[in-house]
Amino acid sequence: MGDALTRLAGQLRGEVLLPGDHGYDDARRGYNRLHDRRPKVVVRPADGDDVARALEFATSAGLEVAVRSGGHSLAGYGTTGGGVLIDLSAMHAIHVDPAARAASVEAGTIAGQLTAATAAHGLLVPFGDSPDVGVGGITLGGGVGWLSRKLGLTIDSVDGVELVTADAQLLTADDQTRPDLFWAVRGGGGNFGVVTRIRYRLHPIGTVLGGALLLPATGEVVRGVVDLAEAAPEELTTISLVTRVPPLSMVPPEAHGRLGVLITLVWCGELAAGERVVDGFRALAPPLADLVHPRPYPSMYELIPDVPRSVTNVTYSFAADELDDEAIGSILQQLEEPNLPSAEALAAVELRVLGGAISRMPVDATAFAHRQRRLLCSVVAAGFTDADADRHRAWVRSLSDAIRYLAKGAYANFFDAADEPRLHQAYPDSTYRRLVQVKQRYDPTNLFHRNLNIRPETSAQP
């Protein structure tokens, strides 16, 4: 093994880190501290050739492979115990072509970097709500964020990818070249290879109406927030948290600890019309805080500064077509319980209203199969001590059990564990069968299994 590692290091333009090396511990850690694994070796490739050499080494040594773009996997897929971690963070080159409204981006780039680079030209790719998420991870899973109702999922702006397959071949995939693979990587995750570069279509963006609005949480307010968000023109996208109000600087001290609905929103359209729509939310109850105003889109990433690089996190998420009064009652009741998870932790239910441009794309156009669903609902506990993990898991489980009767699917990027029984909630039968065929063609030995795993035909379950 030592000689093979020496040869690998000599072949690479990038970096090899072993346990005990400076930077190894920082490199191996991902976002969710509950998944704390120690790879045998961390490879930080400089290019696709480095990725190919790392895969050849892992295959010859019989080692598990994990791939990391930004490291934000809730389920800890971007690390491995005793295997080879391919950390793409050194691959963050960005080429923007403003005239063509296109960008070619290495997959280790984070969303905030790319947004800043493209917004300088009045253009952007619709990502999620965190600047630290790797573009590779969010894109391969689908990509739901503050512009989804107006511009669609992240994958809807992808024109092509480059990736290294299990046999160490660097391939391209788009609508004309390997269209089966191109279909699969848009929603099917990292099951088919190491995506090293993504080509995006860019969208014009000017000043948006955006920010955060905090309302007191009652059943009527939660109902009103969901209904207004769904009825709004597609220029409006909202992400709402029902939670005990944390001690944020934007919130007056007397509101800390109260039950509230924190609505972060973006209106991408005529600003006066947007103000009228947002006034509907303000009318639901006197706001506890109102930071909604015209702003450059990248400043949305600055709403909640100093977010830790890694936290403990337990999440149960599902797609639904409604949030009925019974579920709203269960959410408010369990958030008000005296045995609520510890005060230093965030306990919340996140509600993302879908529709608009997401639903206009044909369901079978990509491997993201839930375009007709109306809502993503996530029960979240985060930021607790490691020793208190079981209590927070129990709270998430209890509330999830009370409202999961609404579930009609799941979003692959929001799984917090390798939950095989829920695989078909992310990928319904017709989508799953098609993914299995692509998996069999490009990764028949299932080398890439540190993901929400699609098994090749030889080992797939019906």
State the CATH number of the domain containing residue 120.
3.30.465.10
Single residue among 41, 68, 90 that ends a domain in this structure: 90
Judge if 71 and 161 occupy the same domain: no
Please tell me the predicted confidence (pLDDT) of residue 462: 39
- Per DSSP, the three-state class of 394 is helix
Q: What is the 3-state secondary structure (H, E, C) of 255-315?
A: HCCCEEEEEEEEECCCHHHHHHHHHHHHCCCCCCEECCEEEEHHHHHHCCCCCCCCECEEE
425 found inside a domain: no
Domain assignment of residue 19, given as a range:
2-90
In a domain, 346, yes or no: yes
Judge if 17 and 161 occupy the same domain.
no
The burial class, CB within 10 Å (0-12 / 13-18 / 19+), for 94 is middle
What's the domain count of the chain?
3
In degrees, rounded to 5, the angle at the alpha carbon of residue 352 between the alpha carbons of residues 348 and 358 is 160
Q: Based on the domain organization, do 304 and 394 belong to the same domain?
A: yes
pLDDT score recorded for residue 166: 97
Say whether both 57 and 193 belong to one domain: no
Looking at residue 416, its pLDDT comes to: 87
Residue 220 to residue 231: CA distance in whole angstroms: 16
Query: Distance (Å, rounded) from C-alpha 385 to C-alpha 146?
Result: 30
Residue 433 lies in a domain: no
Residues 6+ apart with CB under 8 A from 94: 103, 104, 105, 106, 109, 113, 114, 117
Contact status, residue 381 vs residue 311, Cβ threshold 8 Å: no
Contact by Cβ (8 Å): 124, 115: yes
Please state, as a whole number, how many other Cβ atoms lie within 10 Å of the Cβ of residue 433: 13
CA atoms of 73 and 414, how far apart (whole Å)? 8
Looking at the fold, whether 279 and 364 belong to one and the same domain comes out as yes
Q: Domain containing 310 — which CATH number?
A: 3.40.462.20
Q: Do 245 and 360 have their domain in common?
A: yes
Please give the DSSP secondary-structure letter assigned to residue 178: S
Same domain, residue pair 257 and 353: yes
Cβ partners under 8 Å of residue 21, min gap 6? none
Cα–Cα separations (whole angstroms), residue 83 to 65, 405, 447? 6, 38, 12
CATH of residue 30 = 3.30.43.10
Residue 200 within a domain: yes
Q: What is the pLDDT of residues 363-399, one digit of tens each?
A: 999 999 999 999 999 999 999 999 999 999 999 999 9
pLDDT digits (tens, 9 = 90+) for 70-129: 999 999 999 999 999 999 999 999 999 999 999 999 999 999 999 999 999 999 999 999
pTM as predicted: 0.95
The mean pLDDT values, 10 residues at a time, for the chain of 462 residues are 82 95 91 93 97 97 96 93 97 98 98 97 96 96 98 98 98 98 98 98 97 97 98 98 87 88 97 98 97 97 78 95 97 85 87 98 96 97 92 94 97 83 92 98 97 82 44
One domain for residues 145 and 270: no
Using DSSP's 3-state secondary structure scheme, residue 88 falls into helix
365 and 408: one domain? yes
Q: Is residue 443 part of a domain?
A: no
How many Cα atoms sit within 13 Å of 443 on the Cβ side? 28
Q: How far is the CA of 80 from the CAs of 75, 196, 417, 436, in angstroms?
A: 11, 20, 13, 23
Distances (CA, A) of 294 to 129, 208, 230, 274, 281: 18, 5, 22, 10, 16
Q: In b/e form, how buried is each residue of 324-362, taking b as 16+ CB within 10 angstroms?
A: eeebbebbbebbeeeebbeeebbbbbbbbbbbbbbbeee
Q: Point out the domain boundary residue: 204, 233, 255.
A: 204
Q: Give phi and psi for 196, each to the nearest 5.
A: -105, -25
DSSP-derived 3-state class of residue 250: coil
Q: Are residues 288 and 306 in the same domain?
A: yes
Q: Which amino acid is at 355?
A: G
Q: Which of 62, 51, 64, 68 is nearest to 4 (CA)?
A: 62
Q: Is residue 392 part of a domain?
A: yes
Residue 426 lies inside a defined structural domain of this protein: no
Tell me whether residue 269 is in a domain: yes
SS3 74: coil
Q: Are residues 199 and 237 in the same domain?
A: no
- From the number of C-beta atoms within 10 Å of its C-beta (0-12, 13-18, 19+), residue 179 rates as exposed
Token pair of 157 as six digits: 């702006």
Distances 16 to 60, 249, 382, 390, 405 between C-alpha atoms, Å: 17, 41, 32, 36, 47
Domain endpoint, select from 58, 90, 122: 90
269 and 319 assigned to the same domain: yes
